[in-house]
Amino acid sequence: MHLDFANLLNLVSTITLIGALVFTGLQVRAANQARREQAAVTVIETAALSENSARFLELLSEIPEGASAAVIENLDVDTRRQIFLFGLRVEIIGYMVFHGLVDVQTVNDLAGGAILSFWSRAKSWSLERRKRTGDDEFLEWCEWLATQIAQYRATRPYVPAYSRIQARQI
Residue partners of 110: CB distance under 8 A and separation at least 6:
40, 43, 44, 47, 48
Find out whether 109 and 41 touch, Cβ atoms under 8 Å.
no
3-state secondary structure at position 78: helix
pLDDT at 167 over 80: no
Whether residue 125 has pLDDT greater than 90? yes
Largest distance between two CA atoms of the chain: 90
Rounded CA-CA distance 36/33 in Å is: 5
pLDDT of residue 170: 62
| pLDDT class of 66 with cuts at 50, 70, 90 | very high
State how far the Cα of 6 lies from the Cα of 155, in Å rounded to an integer: 60
- Residue 48 pLDDT more than 80? no
pTM assigned to the model: 0.73
Highest mean pLDDT: which of 92-96, 105-109, 123-127? Answer: 123-127
Instruction: Report the range out of 20-29, 49-58, 82-91, 124-133 with the highest average pLDDT.
Output: 124-133
| Helix (H/G/I), strand (E/B), else coil: 135 | coil
pLDDT digits (tens, 9 = 90+) for 142-154: 999 999 999 999 9
Report how far residue 128's alpha carbon sits from residue 112's, in angstroms, rounded to the nearest whole number. Answer: 24
pLDDT confidence tier of residue 46, bands split at 50, 70 and 90:
low
Which one, of 159, 141, 128, 129, lies nearest residue 47 by Cα? 141
Greater pLDDT, 120 or 7: 120
